[in-house]
Chain A
Amino acid sequence: MRTTVEIDPITRIEGHLAVRLEVDSGKVAQAFSSGEMFRGFEVILRGRSPMDAQQITQRICGVCPISHGLASLGAQEEAYGISLPPNGILARNLILGTNYIQSHLVHFYQLSALDFVDITAVLQYKGSDPVLNNLKSWVKSQLDSTAIFPAAPFLPRYEGRYIEDPEINIGAIRHYLEALEMRALAQEALAVYGGKAPHATALVPGGITERITAANVAKVASIVARLQAFIETAYLPDIMAVAEAFPDYAEIGKGCGNFLAYGVFPEIDGSRLLPGGRVEQGRMMDFDPDKISEDTASSKLSSPSGLHPYKGETVPDPDKPGAYSWLKAPRYDGKPQEVGPLARILVAYLNGDTEVKGLVDGALEALSLPLTALDSVLGRHAARALECKIVADRCAYWVGQLKAGEPACTDFELPASGRGAGLTEAPRGALGHWLEIEDYKIANYQCVVPTTWNCSPRDAQGQPGPVETALEGTPVADPKNPIEAARVVRSFDPCLACAVH
């Protein structure tokens, strides 16, 4: 029997996303992903000073503003012909790295964990931890009260199977609360060199405006050490506990099989901590940015389809017949691509990165899973957690390389015209900004954003986007509680404000 199941809105992601599922015999036959919010950043940027762009585009997303700021600065710095001093490169890596950590922690604990962890298990808590006892008495008093929605915003939830082991649940609930503290701490470290978070003002062409001092180096180093400890002792073990409790999710949520990463975290020697590349059905392939285009067949835009971002246009057409999303559909050489931590980890793994290989193989061995199991809900969560460790460990190295008293910024002259592309990686995946300057003003600006790739609608050829493909085949045991499908969508860590912009 065929039924239509809607998840509208999908909460615990960033922004406004709706998913429609055509369910046949208890499994998703077809899925349609709709981005439901449009602001028109690319239209607003036209005619402005190009230097405004790194501040304006940070406001595309409050969860990953740094990535937009750095993509914009990458495009500007190419157009202006400037390079950064070592302190500038390192400090920007710390600003971005600490934002990766806060984003990944929020994604697992605040956004995803409540799909697996039973929050009501806190009622069974019998220990002496005052934090858990406070939470327990609050939940209990809420459930005993006449409140319209007791224990909101944590209840109600989809009915379904949650972790049963009370110790694992209570440990994860404790970590939910600690993660709130840790992510705020990561933002504090970000602000040391970024000025504030979210939306860092110290990012400027040529580097950062903040100075490197012994005191701020020590402060960032101290915070990074605490974050490393939390990732090792809480995040990684909790991911393994979820994987052990939900082994079926190593087979649920298989995506389109094409993975794209631009690479991120430049090192002083010009290499990148996480390299760029493309994987097609398990094999490393060439990457040529000229082969990126954006299809608008199913998008609520009247802009022409198939344009390269340098030529891209954004013209809203909310009532366009047949269109079901505000997102464009980015394609590489005509094909959809999954982007994100899994794509980055796969590219690094297949590039022969020994640290990545060791971590991935170790996790797979502990779970008795093959490499191909990474292309799944669990694989995405695991890749994100391993990446979080890799980034935090490298932050500890970068902060040690900063040189107090040396410049963190290069001066420059603004050209009357020019163009540049800033390709980097947001926590959610490959991010590109394309900038064209004429007469000192922005003549064209286009952003192709991770969730635009992942949550893209169907293109003119009818090819679904990666999330739509990953949903196909997902079991839906109870159409009123499609928790399995919600888990698949959340494994991509969608950010809709980013995707539509």
Chain B
Amino acid sequence: MSHISRRDFLKFSAGLAAALGLAPALSPRVAEALEELAAGQIPVLWLQGQSCSGCSISFLNAEHPSPAEVLTGYISLLFHQTLSTATGRTAVDIVEKSIEKGGYYLVVEGAMPVGMPQACLMGHHPVTDQVARAAAKARAVVALGTCAASGGIPAAENNPTGAVGVPEFLRQKGIPKPVISLPGCPAHPDWLVGTLVHIIKFGLPPLDALGRPLAYYGRLIHDQCPRFADYERENFAEKFGDEGCLFKLGCLGPITMADCTRRYWNRGANTCINAGAPCIGCASPEFARSADLPFYRKGEKPGAKEA
């Protein structure tokens, strides 16, 4: 799979989103797998691969419903590395017994080191094996965050552990399981909670070709940008802290599908572009992927700017 460079990026036009394979499409396999669910607590098994726990921390930033309400009213969280009271052997037993029983939704946070399975172990065993077994017995898999959705930073250029995202991992392992991808570094808590609630109350959320819920990933950040008028008027920020469109500082809003510019982060406190920070494309499959697509244009070598 080839990746885009800043040079490619600058050639993009507004019509490019479709060329990137972002056209809406439902995955019928997901629909089949999501059996009729009565409203109530669904069992969730949460496993961490090569992660930073940032998506777990982000989940704890959920507002309405709060994390405590989610844990006691919506999901039955069988295991979570950071929240479970159970530790050691008991923790391994819980994971194994859950897999034996099956029927849960599997949330995976973090990438899968397929090129070096020893790079992520739990109870002496590679987490890749655990995730493969757990996915096979799950109703569906939620790939939470960009690492799980497409490899993220562990899979960035130089990728020393052969890290991949969960959908690619399951393809390689021949495990035909529906995957809902919730990229973002981290994933917004609303994206996770909203998806879980949608499953419980209404069944499958509509997904795009990459398995992302259209409700959150259906439009480009650029198209929903609070500084879009500055872009139209060619009023560009030239240095950090300036007013104006952040395109010339490197903003990757034009290639990133997500709704953060409308949803805002941390209970509406702020969002990157509103804070003057160029979008770094953290919800994009291209996030951090290539050294040729740096986050900031200021980092470009002199002479590269006309590219």
Residues of A with Cβ closer than 8 Å to B? 6-16, 18, 36-41, 43-44, 46-52, 55-56, 59-63, 65, 106, 110-111, 114, 119, 134-135, 138, 147-149, 152-158, 177, 180-181, 183-184, 187-199, 201-202, 204, 206-211, 219, 300, 316, 318-319, 326, 407-409, 411, 414, 439-441, 480, 482, 486, 497
Residue of B113, B186, B270 with most chain A CB atoms under a 10 A cut-off: B270
Contacts of A16 in B (CB 8 A): 48, 81, 120-122, 127
- Listed by A's residue number, 14 A-B pairs whose Cβ atoms lie within 8 Å are A12-B82, A18-B121, A47-B157, A55-B295, A59-B185, A135-B72, A149-B78, A152-B78, A153-B80, A155-B86, A194-B275, A210-B277, A414-B298, A497-B53
User: Of the candidates A14, A55, A158, which one forms a contact with B82 in the assembled complex, judged by CB atoms under 8 Å apart?
Assistant: A14
The one of A62, A147, A184 in contact with B54, judged by C-beta atoms closer than 8 angstroms, is: A62
Shortest C-beta distance, A179 to chain B (Å), equals 10
With a cutoff of 8 Å between Cβ atoms, the chain B residues found around residue A441 in the complex are 291
Taking the complex as formed, is B77 at the interface, i.e. its CB lies under 8 A from any CB of chain A?
yes
Question: B118 interface residue, CB < 8 Å from A?
Answer: yes
CB-contact partner of A11 in B62, B86, B276, under 8 A? B86
How many A-B contacts at CB < 8 Å in the complex? 309
Which residue of chain B is the closest to A19 with respect to CB atoms?
B88
* Chain B positions near chain A (C-beta within 8 angstroms): 43, 48, 50-58, 60-63, 66-68, 71-73, 76-92, 94, 97-98, 101, 111, 113, 116, 118-124, 127, 152-154, 156-161, 163, 185-186, 239-241, 260, 265-267, 269-272, 274-280, 282, 288, 291, 294-296, 298-301
Residues B63 and A184 in contact, CB atoms below 8 Å apart: yes
Task: Report chain A residues within 8 Å CB of B271.
Answer: 195-196
- Residues B295 and A10 in contact, CB atoms below 8 Å apart: no
Asked if residues B54 and A409 are in contact (CB atoms below 8 Å), the reply is: no
The answer to whether A119 and B85 have CB atoms under 8 Å apart is: yes
**CA of A407 to CA of B240 in the docked complex: distance in angstroms?**
10
Known: A149-B76, A149-B98, A157-B85. 20 other contacts (CB 8 A): A6-B89, A9-B122, A9-B123, A16-B121, A38-B50, A44-B154, A46-B158, A49-B291, A55-B295, A106-B57, A148-B98, A149-B97, A157-B90, A184-B267, A190-B266, A195-B271, A197-B266, A199-B282, A207-B240, A440-B300
Closest Cβ of chain A: how far from B198's Cβ, in Å?
22
Q: Are A497 and B51 CB-contacts (below 8 A) given A11-B86, A56-B288, A411-B240?
A: yes
Measured between beta carbons, the chain A residues less than 8 angstroms from B282 are 199
Inter-chain contacts of A187 with B (CB < 8 A): 57, 61, 266
Are the C-beta atoms of B119 and A316 separated by less than 8 Å? Answer: yes
When the two chains form their complex, are residues A211 and B295 in contact, meaning their CB atoms are under 8 A apart?
A: no
Closest residue of chain B to A219, judged by CB? Answer: B269
A190 to B71 CA separation, bound complex (whole angstroms) = 25
A411 to chain B: closest residue by CB:
B239
